Amino acid sequence: MTMANTRPLPIAAFALASLLPLPLIGLGAAYGGAWVWAAVLYMGLLTLLLDQILPLTEGAAEGDAFPAADALLVSVALGALMVLPGVVWAIAGDSALSGFERAVLFLAAGFWLGQVAHPAAHELIHRPRRELFRFGVVVYVALLFGQHASAHRLVHHRHVASPHDPNTARAGEGFYRFALRAWRGSFLQGLQAETDLRARGAGQGLHPYVYYLIGNLAALGLALVLAGGAGVLVWTGLALHAQSQILLSDYVQHYGLTRALRPDGKLEPVSARHSWNTAHWFTSAMMLNAPRHSDHHMNPSRPYPALHLPPEDIAPRLPWPLPQACLMALFPRLWRKAIRPHLAHWRTPAPEMQDTGP
């Protein structure tokens, strides 16, 4: 059982937890054997075990500076841009890995891309420095998911916990139905939001979706050069694997939570009660405090080391680490049964958000 610890989490802890899988994945791609198992077990079993025995930590004080925080984000992003071609070659190319080792490596790399590279890219697209923002976009484009950089900022943050947000899961809605709706909805609504910006004269240069398409073609072209048609299939598979992790996080972190309508017909402001949080030490470090989701939505520009964990009486808190909750969400009946008593306390009636399908 975890115990509370009020000390802020140092940058070194974020770096160790998030970057350690990289050499394991690299050695696994080069040599196979125990290295691929070490990588996949790190991303699975080890994280769950450490979450149960390490203490919780609170965010750092407001106003604290974190000069190394952005450097870590860039390091993770660079790692993602190296992992993708390296793993594609190891799996689809002329490597010495067995078929089983390639499958395990695929799982490990996909988990890292979705659970670590995605939080880093997510932080980068919220940074005010243009070069950092663009670096985050490049990571999403490499994952064939460039539209997320538009939809997350322009749609999700504006409409979260409402029927207008495709990435807010309705109470009773199963993950698989949600994933199809969210992928399509975020693509289309992100496209519309970017188009509207340009219609108002707020956007410059080419439409971002043009860059996303060009970047997708470049990524798949690199895969083709590395390992032919099989390389394209593996790169696409890794991208879809990572995208599924992103959609699972969205599904779990906003499941069933809704904003109430005020008497004037407008939605109430976003508050801590509109996101699920988790308080587990290790996965919070590995995922760059992404599980402290309420504070992020209330303060999108706040650097990840400074994100606070709201008290349990102020914001919804899941009893499971975020990766475990995402695993449970893959089994809709199990998820609905497990989350129902926790959701009941925070549920705001909103009939248009109900969905009882599988």
- Residue 42: inside a domain, yes or no? yes
- Residue 274: inside a domain, yes or no? yes
> Structural domain tally of the chain?
1
Which pair of tokens denotes residue 201?
A: 């004269």
Q: How far is CA 135 from the centre of its chain?
A: 16
Work out the pLDDT band at 264, boundaries 50, 70, 90.
Answer: confident
Asked if 132 and 124 count as a contact pair (C-beta separation under 8 A), the reply is: yes
d(CA 35, CA 323): 22
* Closest residue by Cα to residue 164 from 291, 34, 254: 254
- Residue 356: inside a domain, yes or no? no
- Residue 101: inside a domain, yes or no? yes
Of 43-52, 128-137, 334-343, the range with the lowest mean pLDDT is 43-52
- Residue 320: inside a domain, yes or no? yes
pTM score, whole prediction? 0.92
> Which residues make beta-bridge pairs with 267?
261
Residue range(s) defining the domain that contains residue 118: 11-251+269-349
Q: How far is CA 151 from the centre of its chain?
A: 14
Q: Is the per-residue pLDDT at 127 higher than 80?
A: yes
Work out the pLDDT band at 51, boundaries 50, 70, 90.
Answer: confident
- Residue 180: inside a domain, yes or no? yes
Alpha helices in 161-316, H assignment, sequence order:
175-199, 208-254, 281-286, 293-298
Per-residue pLDDT of 284-316, as tens digits, reads: 999 999 999 999 999 998 999 989 889 989 999
- Residue 238: inside a domain, yes or no? yes
Report the pLDDT averaged over residues 15-41.
96
Q: What percent of the chain has pLDDT over 70?
A: 91
